[in-house]
Amino acid sequence: MGNKMVMISFVVVGSLLMAAMADVDLSRDLEITWGDGRARMVGNNNNDNDGHILKLSLDRDSGSGFRSRNQYLFGKIDVQIKLVPGNSAGTVTAYYLSSLGLTHDEIDFEFLGNLSGEPYIVHTNIYSQGKGDREQQFYLWFDPTKNFHTYSILWNPHNIILYVDGTPIRVFKNMESRRIPYPKSQAMRVYSSIWNADQWATRGGAVKTDWTQAPFVASYRNFNALHACISTNSSSSSSSCSSHQQQPWMKHSLNASGEAMINWVQKNFMIYNYCTDTQRFPRGFPPECSSP
């Protein structure tokens, strides 16, 4: 598949996703959890209060955040985000699924801010039973501050797939047969926040937050968890998904086309992969890094 055809596929898939998602009232599914007024729900024209857009802001005193009202055990969850424009160095906008406790599970998108004109870095990580350290980082093939783009997490018993505008960028497969823990029994909420991390976020902390640019604002719309199993408690078993067992997303894995797309993205846009970091793992990579 040539570069031109791949990029055309990205644009077409992303455009279809954007067109298919109608504006929804975010207050139905999401609740603001912190920020002392720095997070707010507004209308599409910023003048009414229909809750179609949620804005998180960060200033020198505090960031802000929200979470989903429901917790989920497996699902396909989407949200559209427009990231902080301009000089966002030192800031992090996080969007992730997480359970609670020392042995928590977690699936992360973290968007690391930049100096004006430089690309955002998408930092991803996956925790299972309290163990993370599975970082992969990517540049995006578009400016994520100009328009809303769709970021998706597909989580089922077989694999976790992270998508950007419908394009897979990362997959973490269930390898319990090799004694590698996999998130499957802890319900997780969706969380998002914006916060200051200038000790590490931009060029390893070399570039600090310019507070003259504050407030830093990220915008959200079209949260969609219709294809997800709502769980009533944090320790639910897979039985809470009984009504979804026959849904296509519960069995979805990447086909040959999906594998080709993820390989192309990782070849051209991946800038860090823990599975190739010999300095960090001089005695050998984690077991999930090797093919079965």
Residue 180 lies in a domain: yes
Q: How many domains does the chain have?
A: 1
Selected catalytic residue, list 31, 110, 135, 176: 110
Residue 179 lies in a domain: yes
Residue 228 lies in a domain: yes
Residue 269 lies in a domain: yes
pLDDT at residue 247, as a whole number: 84
**Active-site annotation holds for 106:** yes
Residue 292 lies in a domain: no
Residue 280 lies in a domain: yes
Residue 83 belongs to domain with CATH number: 2.60.120.200
Taking the C-alpha atoms of residue 56 and residue 54, their distance in angstroms, rounded to an integer, is 7
- Which domain, by its residues, includes 101? 3-284
pLDDT at residue 244, as a whole number: 64
Selected catalytic residue, list 106, 135, 259, 288: 106
pLDDT at residue 19, as a whole number: 41
Tens of pLDDT along the chain (292 residues) come to 454 444 444 444 444 444 444 567 899 999 999 999 999 999 766 555 567 999 999 999 999 999 999 999 999 999 999 999 999 999 999 999 999 999 999 999 999 999 988 889 999 999 999 999 999 999 999 999 999 999 999 999 999 999 999 999 999 999 999 999 999 999 999 999 999 999 988 888 888 999 999 999 999 999 999 899 998 766 555 445 766 667 889 999 999 999 999 999 999 999 999 999 999 999 999 999 987 6
Residue 145 lies in a domain: yes
**Sign of the CA dihedral 201, 197, 97, 25?**
negative
Taking the C-alpha atoms of residue 189 and residue 199, their distance in angstroms, rounded to an integer, is 27
